[in-house]
Copies of this chain bind each other. A is one copy, B any other.
Amino acid sequence: MEIKRYDCGVRFATAVEYNGMVYTSGLVTSDRTGDITAQTKDVLSKIDAALEKAGSDKDHVIMVNIWIADMKLFGEMNAVWDEWVSKENMPVRACVEAKLAGNGNLVEIAAIAVKK
């Protein structure tokens, strides 16, 4: 079985595929001036794009890790999550507060999914 690596930057891949599974990096927004709502939407759209490129989608996500810069943002992040997540195909999830790399980043999300 081959390991496929997608969108490798200077130090890590955006996604890796192996044995019917897709793993994404902890992804952050492209626009750090946005608020938690805008950033969460942007990051989840990046998750969607990374999964699509590797042959998966949010209906096949099995695990998600979320780090937010301030737990006060939990409710607003969840509001965007609730719009995004497939109600019939919920993953397991963990979300904790952590200081993130990159000034202005408010949320970082990593996903593990199954290929379609």
Are B97 and A98 interface neighbours, CB within 8 A? yes
A25 touches B93 (CB 8 A): yes
Q: Which residues of B contact A108 (CB under 8 A)?
A: 94, 96
A56 vs B32: C-alpha distance in the bound complex, in angstroms? 37
Our pick among B3, B11, B94 for the contact of A60 (Cβ within 8 Å) is: B3
22 A-B contact pairs sorted by A residue (CB < 8 Å)? A3-B60, A9-B90, A10-B82, A11-B81, A11-B90, A12-B64, A12-B85, A12-B90, A12-B92, A15-B92, A23-B92, A26-B92, A26-B93, A65-B94, A67-B94, A71-B101, A74-B101, A94-B110, A96-B100, A96-B101, A97-B98, A97-B99
